[in-house]
Amino acid sequence: MTTMLQLENVSRHFGGLKVLQDVNLDIPQGGIFGLIGPNGAGKTTVFNLITGLLPPTGGTIRFQGEALAGRKPHQITQAGIARTFQNIRLFKEMSLLDNVIVGMHRHLRYGPAGLLLSLGGYRAEERRARDRARELLSWVRLDHKADDTADNLSYGEQRKLELARALATEPKLLLLDEPVAGMNASEKTELMREIENIKARGYTIFMIEHDMRFVMGLCEEIAVLNFGRIIARGGPEQIRNDPQVIEAYLGREDDDATTPEESA
């Protein structure tokens, strides 16, 4: 199976605190891969390193064989990696349609003159962008609210809008950071189905999630991070029965330590 993303001996230190230590991880193309672990294990730090928000202290991150070292976040997005965040980051006063179009900015070909003068090329490009935005909203079943403002959505719908906006960047790899945080059971079931449909359209998905039922029901493969190290990797059943995982995470629900970066 083709490897899409590879972390080789990746470390990240905050002063004397070793948040990640020699993490080796490869994400296969075309599947849904999960990363789990106690609070403070370093999961969000992994995503921040992949997307260029933080530089690694050591090691190499490769995307489709190309090293990401030194690339800025927008360049990593251009390379084909998109991300959602634990904390929803929408333009609440804008329509759903415009929120999604914002995610398309690197693909739009019209410049400031076209925007100001409403030239023909701009109008045609705008139509294409709106058509694509409505299509992406339909993938998460929000197209019927395309012209509503984002602040009128329920929490679960805001999560889905953020997913549609990430897809608007036309990624090859989609990073989902706690995608069902704050959702009720029916919203989680809906989103699980929609993520499966997105995968079926050819996307590779890498997610962090605390909801074990969601992770076990959706991911083909899961890695477990504890105190900055990968301690297990395998299918859901293998992870569920791994003694180290039970000790470090599944058997303990009182872990509340956080790293400086993850608690920010």
Q: With bands split at pLDDT 50, 70 and 90, how would you rate the model's confidence at 182?
A: confident
Number of domains in the chain: 2
Same domain flag for 36 and 114? no
Q: With bands split at pLDDT 50, 70 and 90, how would you rate the model's confidence at 255?
A: very low
| pLDDT at residue 260, as a whole number | 42
> CA–CA separation, 8 vs 58, rounded Å?
9
- Which amino acid belongs to residue 98? D
Same domain flag for 135 and 103? yes
> CA–CA separation, 30 vs 16, rounded Å?
37
Q: What is the pLDDT of residues 218-251, one digit of tens each?
A: 999 999 999 999 999 999 999 999 998 888 776 6
> CA–CA separation, 205 vs 131, rounded Å?
24
> CA–CA separation, 11 vs 18, rounded Å?
8
| pLDDT at residue 15, as a whole number | 87
Same domain flag for 58 and 97? no
Mean pLDDT over residues 173-188, rounded?
92
Assess if residue 162 is contained within a domain: no
Tokens 């929803």 appear where? 88
Same domain flag for 133 and 179? no
Whether pTM exceeds 0.75:
yes
Same domain flag for 60 and 181? yes
Assess if residue 134 is contained within a domain: yes
Same domain flag for 72 and 129? no
| pLDDT at residue 127, as a whole number | 83
pLDDT over 80 at 253, yes or no: no
Assess if residue 30 is contained within a domain: yes
Q: What angle do CA 188, 192, 195 make, to 5 degrees?
A: 135
Same domain flag for 76 and 175? yes
Same domain flag for 126 and 179? no
Range of the domain at 224: 1-80+171-264
Assess if residue 166 is contained within a domain: no
> CA–CA separation, 120 vs 115, rounded Å?
10
Of the residues 100, 121, 155, which one is the last residue of a structural domain?
A: 155
Same domain flag for 127 and 191? no
Assess if residue 161 is contained within a domain: no
Same domain flag for 146 and 177? no
Q: With bands split at pLDDT 50, 70 and 90, how would you rate the model's confidence at 135?
A: very high
Of the residues 155, 180, 198, which one is the last residue of a structural domain?
A: 155
CATH number at residue 230: 3.40.50.300
Of the residues 155, 181, 210, which one is the last residue of a structural domain?
A: 155
Assess if residue 33 is contained within a domain: yes
> CA–CA separation, 163 vs 191, rounded Å?
10
Assess if residue 150 is contained within a domain: yes
Mean pLDDT over residues 163-171, rounded?
93
Range from 41-50, 193-202, 241-250 carrying the lowest mean pLDDT: 241-250
Same domain flag for 179 and 260? yes
Per the prediction, the chain carries an average pLDDT of: 87
| pLDDT at residue 118, as a whole number | 53
Same domain flag for 12 and 65? yes
Assess if residue 148 is contained within a domain: yes
Q: What is the pLDDT of residues 53-84, one digit of tens each?
A: 999 999 999 999 999 988 999 999 999 999 99
